[in-house]
């Protein structure tokens, strides 16, 4: 295997035969390129070489530009200029740091010089790789910081009302996630807000919008409707029962939608979300489903799940759209299972999805509690994914109303955190 | 699974034909094609999706992105999407601004 790779600059004058003989004698690997090719060829076609051999007559600045480009994409060769008679031209090159060869081009002399250039070029490449690694580690560290900061946009603790259980599973596919969930009190503690959302796409972009959307929803919900705790139900016009918590709910979703469509439409990020407001005393739930996978209400008697269908489009897509309210009732023993598409769209190594049918199979029969349900579904997702890469964030939230209210939770009412 | 994207003009319609899976990995190819298509200035951009077996939320984002890229009077049509794909579009409510059709 040749120890030294030499780019022979295809320029006038060509290297004298003695120089070429010396290169052959040292078994160098030779490639020929014009200056123009080095400066304009696609990066993937640039040769990786130890030495760029150029006649002293070539333009020093132009050669340097070509080497800069090689350094960026392939690794910088050491420039060696040769001449037989043009010693003045040689000076210009030496001044800008190029090496040189002059007659006699004896194989031993040429070989020794080029071997030493080859070692220098190799060292340069090693340094470049070390720099690249250091840069990559820097990015990874930044991403880790991003992950930690994003964790601060998830609830540190969840207020769990007496007589209720909330269990969450949150497994991002990458370091930063587009999914999120939130649980907080509104309407002066009389209602519980439960949010599960999925910001489209993945990675850092989705994570930035997650932070924005979560903040807008929570802030608006917590700071609106204080004057009007009661809003008229708007579903279909037939319901006229005033619903506490409906105003903050509507305000949060419509304000977030108009903020996003007013300020960020061009970026094309949006979220599908389920935002439910629970009355912990009665189990009545008013909700908005903004383009999200319908959550499933699992009745205590084991009858088929009831899907809480969409009541409006995804948030951040359409300016001035209307969100209607949906209503549901959670009786003792019932469970509401809210999830993101990472659950039904979990993929096994050969690409098959977990699928809605399998999900319904798993959910058949009432779960004894929310934790059992979340564990069961999470295990199913993990088993289905197997050795395949987890390609989407997985988020599940189970809101369960136990048959016999067990009074205040001894396992930390209001502070239970499920990682 | 990779995505193959082709772009052509048929009269006053720019046709983008997609085959494969539209997800976070492949969506950037689709984005580039949309930008080219938007430059054509036709009155309709037709996205043929019969060959798309799966569309993730990144694909939905591409459709929203497409709407942003084309002029207001340009109609975006999604044609031939299989049921799970068209359901994804309908669930998110994108069928309010994008025309979904079977052929």
Where along chain A do the CATH 3.60.40.10 domains lie?
155-418
The predicted pLDDT at position A330 comes to 96
Q: A 93-122 residues with CB below 8 A of B?
A: none
Quick check: A378 pLDDT over 80?
yes
Average pLDDT for B59-86: 90
Nearest to B64 among A198, A317, A345 (CB): A317
Query: pTM score, two decimals?
Result: 0.74
The predicted pLDDT at position A126 comes to 86
Residue A24 Cα distances to A104, A352, B70, angstroms: 16, 57, 60
Mutation pick from B53, B69, B91 vs chain A, by most beta carbons of A within 10 Å, is: B91
The CATH number fitting domain A5-131, selected from 1.10.510.10, 3.40.50.2300, 3.30.1450.10, 3.40.50.720: 3.40.50.2300
Quick check: B18 pLDDT over 70?
yes
Is the Cβ of A178 closer than 8 Å to some Cβ of chain B?
A: yes
Where along chain A do the CATH 3.40.50.2300 domains lie?
5-131
Question: Is A312–B91 a contact, with Cβ atoms under 8 angstroms apart?
Answer: no
Average pLDDT for A122-135: 86
Is the Cβ of A173 closer than 8 Å to some Cβ of chain B?
A: no
Q: Over chain B, what is the mean pLDDT?
A: 90
Q: Which residue of B has its CA nearest to A178?
A: B57
The predicted pLDDT at position A203 comes to 86
Mutation pick from A178, A201, A348 vs chain B, by most beta carbons of B within 10 Å, is: A201
Instruction: Please tell me the distance from the alpha carbon of residue B84 to that of residue A341, in angstroms, as a whole number.
Output: 12
Q: Which residue of B has its CA nearest to A393?
A: B57
Residue A180 Cα distances to A172, A210, A340, B16, angstroms: 9, 7, 9, 33
Confidence band (pLDDT; 50, 70, 90) for A413? very low
The whole-angstrom distance between A145's CA and the closest CA on chain B is 23
Is the Cβ of B28 closer than 8 Å to some Cβ of chain A?
A: no
Q: What angle separates helix B83-91 from helix B57-69, to the nearest 10 degrees?
A: 70
Confidence band (pLDDT; 50, 70, 90) for A2? low
Question: Is B91–A269 a contact, with Cβ atoms under 8 angstroms apart?
Answer: no
The predicted pLDDT at position B5 comes to 92
Q: Which residue of A has its CA nearest to B59?
A: A201
The whole-angstrom distance between A321's CA and the closest CA on chain B is 10
Question: Is A341–B92 a contact, with Cβ atoms under 8 angstroms apart?
Answer: no
The predicted pLDDT at position A1 comes to 44
Q: A 304-323 residues with CB below 8 A of B?
A: 310, 312-314, 317-318, 321
What architecture does CATH give domain A155-418? 4-Layer Sandwich (3.60)
Q: Over chain A, what is the mean pLDDT?
A: 88
The whole-angstrom distance between A201's CA and the closest CA on chain B is 4
- Give tens-digit pLDDT for A84-120: 998 999 998 999 889 999 999 999 999 999 999 999 8
Spell out which residues of chain A touch residue B92, defining contact as CB-CB under 8 Å.
Answer: 270, 272, 291, 313-314, 317
Contacts of A95 (CB under 8 A, 6+ apart): none
Question: Is B91–A270 a contact, with Cβ atoms under 8 angstroms apart?
Answer: no
The answer to whether the CB of A28 falls within 8 A of the CB of A2 is: yes
Average pLDDT for A147-152: 91
Count of Cβ atoms closer than 10 Å to residue A376 Cβ = 13
The whole-angstrom distance between A294's CA and the closest CA on chain B is 9
- Give tens-digit pLDDT for A23-55: 999 989 999 999 999 998 888 888 889 999 999
The whole-angstrom distance between A292's CA and the closest CA on chain B is 7
Tokens encoding A21: 């003989």
Average pLDDT for A372-390: 91
- Give tens-digit pLDDT for A206-253: 999 999 999 999 999 999 865 544 444 444 444 445 578 899 999 999
The predicted pLDDT at position A225 comes to 62
- Give tens-digit pLDDT for A155-203: 999 999 999 999 999 999 888 888 999 999 998 889 999 999 999 988 8
ipTM value greater than 0.95: no
Question: Is B57–A201 a contact, with Cβ atoms under 8 angstroms apart?
Answer: yes
Instruction: Please tell me the distance from the alpha carbon of residue A46 to that of residue A71, in angstroms, as a whole number.
Output: 10
Count of Cβ atoms closer than 10 Å to residue A193 Cβ = 23
């Amino acid at each position: 295997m040749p120890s030294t790779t030499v780019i022979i600059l295809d320029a006038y004058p060509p290297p004298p035969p003695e120089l070429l003989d010396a290169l052959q004698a040292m078994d160098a690997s030779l490639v020929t390129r014009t200056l123009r090719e080095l400066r304009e060829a696609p990066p993937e076609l640039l040769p990786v070489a130890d030495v760029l051999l150029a006649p002293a007559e070539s333009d020093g600045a132009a050669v340097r530009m070509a080497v800069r480009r090689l350094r960026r994409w392939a690794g910088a060769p050491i420039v060696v200029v040769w001449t037989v008679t043009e010693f003045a031209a040689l000076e210009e090159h030496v001044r800008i740091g190029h090496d040189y060869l002059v007659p006699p081009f004896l194989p031993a002399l040429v070989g020794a010089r080029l071997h030493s250039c080859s070692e220098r070029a190799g060292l340069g490449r090693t340094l470049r790789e070390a720099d690249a690694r250091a840069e990559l580690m820097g990015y990874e560290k930044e991403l880790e910081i991003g992950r930690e900061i994003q964790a601060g946009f998830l609830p540190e603790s969840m207020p769990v009302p007496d007589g209720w259980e909330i269990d969450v599973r949150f497994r991002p596919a990458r370091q930063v996630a587009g999914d999120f969930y939130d649980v907080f009190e509104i309407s002066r503690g009389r209602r519980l807000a439960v949010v599960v959302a999925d910001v489209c796409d993945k990675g850092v972009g989705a994570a930035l919008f997650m932070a924005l959307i979560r903040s807008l929803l929570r802030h608006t919900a917590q700071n609106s409707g204080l004057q009007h705790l009661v809003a008229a139900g708007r579903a279909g016009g037939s319901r006229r029962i005033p619903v506490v918590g409906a105003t903050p709910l509507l305000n949060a979703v419509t304000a977030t939608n108009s903020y996003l469509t007013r300020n960020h439409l061009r970026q094309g990020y949006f979220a599908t979300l389920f935002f439910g407001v629970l009355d912990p005393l009665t189990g009545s739930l008013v909700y908005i489903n903004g383009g999200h996978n319908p959550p499933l209400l699992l009745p205590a008697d084991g009858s088929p799940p009831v899907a809480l269908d969409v009541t409006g489009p995804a948030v951040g897509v359409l300016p001035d759209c209307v969100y209607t309210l949906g209503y549901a009732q959670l009786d003792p023993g019932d469970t509401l299972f809210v999830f993101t598409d990472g659950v039904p769209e979990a993929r096994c190594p050969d690409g098959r999805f977990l699928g809605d049918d399998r999900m319904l199979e798993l959910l058949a029969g009432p779960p004894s509690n929310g934790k059992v349900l979340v564990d069961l579904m999470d295990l199913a997702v993990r088993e289905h994914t197997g050795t395949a890469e987890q390609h989407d964030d997985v988020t599940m939230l189970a809101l369960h109303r136990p048959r016999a209210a067990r009074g205040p939770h001894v396992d930390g009412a209001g502070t239970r955190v499920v990682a | 699974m990779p995505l193959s994207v082709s772009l052509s003009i048929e009269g006053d319609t720019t046709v983008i034909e997609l085959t494969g899976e539209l997800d976070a990995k492949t969506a950037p190819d689709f984005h580039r094609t949309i930008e080219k298509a938007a430059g054509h200035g036709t009155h309709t951009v037709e996205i043929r999706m019969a060959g798309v077996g799966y569309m993730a939320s990144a694909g939905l984002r591409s459709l929203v992105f497409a709407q942003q890229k084309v002029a207001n009077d340009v109609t975006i049509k999604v044609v031939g999407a299989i049921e799970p794909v068209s359901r994804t579009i309908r669930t998110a409510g994108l069928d309010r601004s994008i025309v979904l059709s079977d052929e």
